[in-house]
Copies of this chain bind each other. A is one copy, B any other.
């Protein structure tokens, strides 16, 4: 697959999993260790580590190992780009409807 873009790909992919969305919400409340998260989602440490890795690769989470514990907190990316993409898309939709409305306005009564 040709990769035209980088960031939106990985962040939208990260958001496509319910576990990862919930991990984000949980981390928005408070930082957590891999064990904390694995326990909360009844998953193995290894399994949760992979999810955290995906989130980290997308810039949504950062981690830091302190002693034997890896602490996870929210990363630098706060979904601004994703928000922008969706907003731009929705404004394109509106623009299209506006043009349609304008067209209907212009042609009103032309074909009685």
Tell me the A residues contacting B by CB distance below 8 Å.
Answer: 1-5, 8-10, 12-13, 15-19, 21-22, 24-25, 28-29, 74, 78-79, 82-83, 85-87, 89-90, 92-93, 96
Contact = CB atoms under 8 A, between A and B. Distances in A.
A3 B15 CA distance: 14
A64 B24 CA distance: 38
Given A28-B96, A89-B79, A92-B25, A16 B18 contact: no
B28 A93 contact: yes
Given A12-B16, A16-B16, A28 B78 contact: no
Nearest to A4: B18
A8 B28 contact: no
B25 A89 contact: yes
A56 to B, nearest CB: 17
Contacts of A15: 8, 12, 85
B18 A92 contact: no
A101 to B, nearest CB: 16
Contacts of A87: 83
